[in-house]
Structure 1
């Protein structure tokens, strides 16, 4: 088989890029270590660009067999209970100046990654979060973060408990100790590297925020001497052989390497990626084997009649949605069965809701949908009538005007984004 065919067979892992500026232009990137390890263990990394509006297009990246989220800026505090941090405005401003490259927020990246994290939790898609990715996972499940570890945590520690969690001068070489909890995946991976039964390892980290309140569904796997959670997982969704893997690591196992040989500090450093991809492969196999297996349930006469009425209702809605039919009012009663069904089944799965959108049946009641369709038809008819009376020259000028407005808006948005980044840096 040709090498070009392999990507059609291997499972896909989505990774969201991080945005920076190079030569006065935006550049999206993902750390090479993450990509290397995903490929090494048998999956295909698919980079989701940090582009405005991409969070509305995530369905285009299907099928999704795994999600790896890694570095990036601080998560917008509005996504968690940040008002209880106790920091003054002056202290927060000092933090932003001290950590200017990290303390900036990126709401678009937040939207993309929070949506992907929730998608994993809905479908039990394997998820590995490194650094910011672990914070995204915790926040998605209702946990909170320290807005600044040093200000909120380290100042309260005894001298022997204080930890430096980031060293700007020695990014890859910086290490600090963590204590691993027994009977956790992290313990299994590093068990052979513990010295004197201390269950401690030296890890690389680069962050000024971290888990404050761990979401209830998670179990901590490691702590720094100052008490900060350095790793956690969902015990009810951890079985790599069965396609289950939900985990967050605050430290960077992929960067724990010897500077002269590029070998890992410990044999267990790569295990997070190896077990994650193992789960991704198993999840893909389960998904593939179940996709086309119909499960027929025999209904009694009453339920079968209801089923047919609902299907007919959706079919009518689809036809109205796709056509310019003027028969909406005459067929509005046929929409009621589908509307009632949707009203009574608000807890739809993501796949069901997407399917209903595709057939034009996202209505919550027949009258509301009918009114909306009528208004759209009236507006379109008015616009067409007005433009039919315009000359070719007027239409050409109208097209040029809206084209110019689009260009000006795009240039203004780019300039404002650049000015914002310059101010924050």
Structure 2
């Protein structure tokens, strides 16, 4: 009997896309790096379009990736919108419902960039809406479509420290960041103090990272998710 791969759901975007003869067609999509990272780690990727009607899909999932993308609506953490904040309310509604239900079920969850911020807000935390206003630089999002690179430091003994080992260089692209982590535990920071990793030790696997491990197909993080989901 062939053992089934753990089924990992990946949240997706709805954005205008162009291919072939089709132009600016509203499209459910996610960068293929996410799928390749899950597949390369031994999982079976399933794409989840925004859907806030129910969370029944969690019954057939073994793990969940909350993917990156647009900013979270600041009303979710009781703040007015800053001029630089760009939101997708349909994603917010669907993914917040999904994330909270996944946590209730103790489903293994990996949050990437926006996904880490979503986990933070689901845990009662808040965000900085525009890091350059806080840090005085834009090295976490140096140019359109260009990833920043920097070293991160991790809390000794934390899950992320054990996974990352001595290779602590990360690829990031974001202008928002965690302010108050809520019920989550901060286990990683950049040299400028920006929160780079959060965990929830109350669950068997809840990890959020501010960088993009899918870009490098990082088997350390995606492998840990798939292993927890097996």
Q: Equivalents in 2 of 1:72, 1:169: separation in Å?
A: 13
- 1:101-140 residue pairs with structure 2 within 5 A? 103-140=85-122
Q: CA contact under 8 A between 2:130 and 2:175: conserved in structure 1?
A: yes
Q: Equivalent residue of 2:26, what SS?
A: strand
* Structure 1 counterpart of 2:12, from 8, 17, 29: 17
The CA deviation string for residues 298-338 of structure 1, in whole angstroms up to 9 with x for no partner, is: xxxxxxxxxxxxxxxxxxxxxxxxxxxxxxxxxxxxxxxxx
Q: Equivalent residue of 1:55, what SS?
A: coil
Tell which has more relative contact order, 1 or 2 (C-alpha 8 A, sep 6+). 2
User: Would you identify which runs of 4 or more consecutive aligned residues in structure 1 move more than 6 Å?
Assistant: none
Match of 2:78 in 1: 81
Q: CA contact under 8 A between 2:120 and 2:182: conserved in structure 1?
A: yes
Q: Equivalents in 2 of 1:192, 1:273: separation in Å?
A: 17
Count of equivalent residues: 225
Q: Equivalents in 2 of 1:43, 1:186: separation in Å?
A: 20
The CA deviation string for residues 182-204 of structure 1, in whole angstroms up to 9 with x for no partner, is: 111222223243xxxxxxx3311
TM norm structure 1: 0.50
- 1:42: how far off? 2.5
Q: CA contact under 8 A between 1:138 and 1:215: conserved in structure 2?
A: yes
Q: Equivalent residue of 1:119, what SS?
A: helix
Greater fraction helix: 1
Match of 2:207 in 1: 247
Over 3 Å counting, the alpha-carbon distance change for 1:163 and 1:189 in structure 2 is farther
Over 3 Å counting, the alpha-carbon distance change for 1:115 and 1:270 in structure 2 is same
Match of 2:20 in 1: none
Q: Equivalents in 1 of 2:89, 2:67: separation in Å?
A: 16
- 1:169: how far off? 4.8
* Structure 2 counterpart of 1:168, from 132, 143, 149: 143
Over 3 Å counting, the alpha-carbon distance change for 1:114 and 1:177 in structure 2 is same
Over 3 Å counting, the alpha-carbon distance change for 1:245 and 1:61 in structure 2 is closer
Question: Are 1:219 and 2:166 matched, yes or no?
Answer: no
Q: Equivalents in 2 of 1:187, 1:225: separation in Å?
A: 16
- 1:80: how far off? 0.3
Match of 2:173 in 1: 206
Match of 1:330 in 2: none
Greater fraction strand: 2
Q: CA contact under 8 A between 1:74 and 1:132: conserved in structure 2?
A: yes
Q: CA contact under 8 A between 1:177 and 1:202: conserved in structure 2?
A: yes
- 1:250-265 residue pairs with structure 2 within 5 A? 250-256=210-216
Q: Equivalents in 2 of 1:147, 1:61: separation in Å?
A: 30
Can you give the 5+ residue segments of structure 2 that lack an aligned partner in the other structure?
Answer: 18-22
Q: Equivalent residue of 2:132, what SS?
A: helix
Q: Equivalents in 1 of 2:129, 2:138: separation in Å?
A: 16
Question: Are 1:70 and 2:86 matched, yes or no?
Answer: no
Match of 2:225 in 1: 276
Rg (Cα) greater in structure: 1
